[in-house]
C-alpha cells in the first residue's frame, strides 16, 4: 500500500471518528506543513498558528475530501489557504515578529557560518514577496514540488505558476544580489 492510499484510508477512518487515525495522519504531515507555513508566513509564531489551524480544518473538513488529488496535496492546499487567510487578517492588525536570532540555524546548509550570515537576508527577501509569489517559491524551491504538482496544489494554471515563479525568483535575485561574494553563480 502506498503512502498516498494509506493516507486516504486514514482520512476515511477520521471521518468515522477514529482519533488515532487523525493523530497518525497529522504526525505524517506536520513537519512539512509547518515548513510551508513558516516560509509563507515568515514568522515562527504565526507559522505555528497556521499549522494548528490547518490541522483543525483538516479534521473538520475530512468528510469533504474528494479523491481528485492526493491527501497530502489536499492538506498542503489547506495550509497555503490558511496562511493566506492569516496574512490578510494580519494586514488588518499588524504585529511585531519574534527576533530572527531565536530561530535555529539551518542544519541543511553547507557552511554553518554562511547559513547564519545569509539566513536573515534570505528570510527578509522572502518576506518582501507578495504571499502569492512567496508560496510559489517556497513550494517549488524549498519544498521541491514539481511545477505540475504545484499548479494542482495551488489550483492555478501551469502558465500562471511558471510566471509567478519566474517573477518571484527575479525579485529575489535583485534583492539578494551576490551575497556569497566571489562566486559568479551561487547554487
Q: What is the CA radius of gyration of the chain?
A: 18
pLDDT digits (tens, 9 = 90+) for 152-165: 888 889 999 999 99
Q: In the predicted model, what is the mean pLDDT of residues 121-149?
A: 85
Contact 50, 79 (CB under 8 A): yes
pLDDT at 103: 55
- CA dist 109 and 116 (Å) reads 9
pLDDT at 32: 92
CB atoms within 10 A of CB 142: 13
Q: In the predicted model, what is the mean pLDDT of residues 88-117?
A: 58
Q: Could you write out the DSSP letters of every residue in 31-70?
A: HHHHHHHHHHH--HHHHHHHHHHHHHHHHHTGGG--TTS-
Query: For 156, phi and psi rounded to 5 degrees?
Result: -130, 155
- CA dist 82 and 167 (Å) reads 23
- CA dist 134 and 124 (Å) reads 11
- Residue 22 belongs to what H/E stretch? helix 19-41
* E strands in the chain: none
CB atoms within 10 A of CB 85: 13
Q: Could you write out the DSSP letters of every residue in 84-113?
A: HHHHHHHHHS--PPPPGGGSPP-TT-SSHH
Evaluate the CA torsion angle 42, 46, 48, 53 in order and state its sign: negative
pLDDT digits (tens, 9 = 90+) for 40-92: 888 889 999 999 999 999 999 998 888 888 899 899 999 999 999 988 887 76
- CA dist 44 and 54 (Å) reads 15
Instruction: pLDDT band for 144, please (50, 70, 90 cuts).
Output: confident
pLDDT at 101: 53
| pTM of the predicted model as reported, rounded to 2 decimal places | 0.60
- Domains defined for the chain, CATH in brackets: 1-98 (1.10.1740.10), 100-187 (1.10.10.10)
- CA dist 41 and 54 (Å) reads 13
* pLDDT > 70: percent of the chain: 77
Amino acid at each position: 500500500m502506498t503512502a498516498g492510499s494509506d493516507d486516504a484510508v486514514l482520512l476515511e477512518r477520521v471521518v468515522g471518528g477514529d482519533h488515532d487515525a487523525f493523530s497518525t495522519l497529522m504526525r505524517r504531515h506536520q513537519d512539512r506543513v509547518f515548513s510551508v507555513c513558516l516560509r509563507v508566513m515568515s514568522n515562527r509564531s504565526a507559522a505555528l498558528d497556521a499549522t494548528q489551524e490547518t490541522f483543525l480544518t483538516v479534521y473538520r473538513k475530512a468528510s469533504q475530501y474528494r479523491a481528485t488529488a492526493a491527501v497530502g496535496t489536499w492538506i498542503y492546499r489547506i495550509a497555503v489557504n490558511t496562511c493566506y487567510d492569516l496574512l490578510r487578517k494580519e494586514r488588518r492588525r499588524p504585529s511585531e515578529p519574534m527576533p530572527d536570532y531565536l530561530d535555529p540555524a539551518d542544519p541543511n546548509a553547507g557552511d554553518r557560518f554562511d547559513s547564519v550570515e545569509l539566513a536573515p537576508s534570505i528570510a527578509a527577501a522572502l518576506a518582501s514577496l507578495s504571499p502569492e509569489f512567496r508560496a510559489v517559491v517556497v513550494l517549488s524551491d524549498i519544498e521541491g514540488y514539481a511545477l505540475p504538482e504545484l499548479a494542482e496544489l495551488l489550483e492555478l494554471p501551469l502558465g500562471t505558476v511558471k510566471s509567478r515563479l519566474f517573477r518571484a525568483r527575479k525579485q529575489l535575485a535583485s534583492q539578494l544580489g551576490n551575497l556569497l561574494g566571489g562566486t559568479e553563480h551561487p547554487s
